[in-house]
Structure 1
């Protein structure tokens, strides 16, 4: 997270599109000390058991190179790696207990920050204009977005980014439930990201999510003469401590908005966007109509 000239927080990467300023792993942040400590513990337990790296790798089904990279904190240990090493080395759960922190560290920091913000929200409103909002995406739709990214991601990084986005969708099952409202541009419902079948399943998913009592999905028709969202995507989150923040994205950058005057502008725009879009019931009917046209 960096800061703009006005002192406000800025993120270095986007979160819901498939773009970003870097394609390298970024767990070397607040999780760095915990990860390095975990890797040192693996080495200490292995040496205490009198095993070589090769012998440990053979016992748990990982290569010598992987064991070496993990012990040097060059690679994050997979939860399966930790569970098997714990059992073989007789660590009595001490290594396996680190699975949660290590798994969270796999997700890009920008996604962890956003997921934390979403987890604290009692109300979230989002307007998306170029693809489905990340919280509404199916896994295959998300994967298609990251496969289109330029510069291209490797397969491991695509898996990592997809898993991180899917993990954020835990917000739908949270209790007490947050109020979640979304406005999607009509074009996002027609653009066949990943192909027609991927889009079809994505539209079906929207209909399912739209039935949840704490979720409202609206469609912004392309033929609207007046449109309050022409400045781009935006998000407004009301946090349980009573504060409200905004979030906006553009090419290579995303920005957390905390200045009350700017937050007020985003709230006003989002309110107008919702008023100009189709009501929730008509929006679901519109999505059903699009599905019918695809058969």
Structure 2
């Protein structure tokens, strides 16, 4: 089958690449499971490539060109689809996040990126590397603010965040920055744009003590889980693993304060930060 024309890099490369994959697969008369067998991956992985929730890596692009006889189209264009303004370990998760219909997240040490204010984000980024040039910090803050624009939509994605009390008490960027950050979270919750619960320090041991966790659901692709560490990150699509992690998140929710008590604690801490900054 002759390969299609190269993608226009000014459009959405991953979405177009996924659409072309779906078209080429259907033209070849293969199901997602059948194509997955040819590539030694699951049918759900093919579905994620088609939906644009997973990045197409060169090794898979090369095999797709061979199996679907697309004349090198996928290998040529997967490089354009891989371009990202985010760090390599987080790029694929950020792109999946932008297409999610529901996101559940727990971050033990800081306020998650989608709830950060510009000043808080700058303080976090600057703490990662105090020697980073200011223009680079500006670029990273802008990229984070672009992610936050997901919340401009009134209902999508559904965002459910469990905040660790330790992150709320960790003075990041100074008291003024923390007061603003907590008031921002309170306002989002009061507008019913985000579900927020606080995991109190008194909860003790809990189901997600190992680190940060993000669970994402999609309209036309299987769910994903994302783990993150220091300078590292990994997407997980194994259905049994994702199901087990969803169960852990449910246990975490059960250990957290109810929404109203969580908001009361957030508001009280915000007032403390503001009062102590301006006695």
1:257 paired residue among 236, 250, 254: 236
Q: 1:174 deviation in Å?
A: 2.5
The equivalences for 1:1-295 within 5 A come to 30-31=79-80, 106-108=85-87, 112-150=91-129, 152-174=131-153, 177-294=156-273, 295=275
Alignment partners' CA distance in 1, 2:81 and 2:193: 37
Structure 1 unaligned runs (5+)? 1-5, 11-28, 34-103
| Change beyond 3 A, Cα 1:194–1:120 | same
Alignment partners' CA distance in 1, 2:213 and 2:111: 13
- SS across alignment from 2:128: coil
CA deviation vs aligned residue, 1:217-259 (integer Å, no higher than 9, x gap): 1100001134111111101001111411100101221010111
More helix by share: 2
Alignment partners' CA distance in 2, 1:106 and 1:179: 24
C-alpha RMSD over aligned residues: 2.7
Contact 2:119–2:177 at 8 Å: present in 1 too? yes
Alignment partners' CA distance in 2, 1:285 and 1:167: 29
Contact 2:188–2:194 at 8 Å: present in 1 too? yes
| Change beyond 3 A, Cα 1:269–1:292 | same
Q: Work out which of the two has the higher radius of gyration on C-alpha atoms and give 1 or 2.
A: 1
Alignment partners' CA distance in 1, 2:168 and 2:201: 11
TM-score, normalised by the number of residues in structure 2: 0.66
| Change beyond 3 A, Cα 1:121–1:293 | same
TM-score, normalised by the number of residues in structure 1: 0.62
- SS across alignment from 1:30: helix
- SS across alignment from 1:261: helix
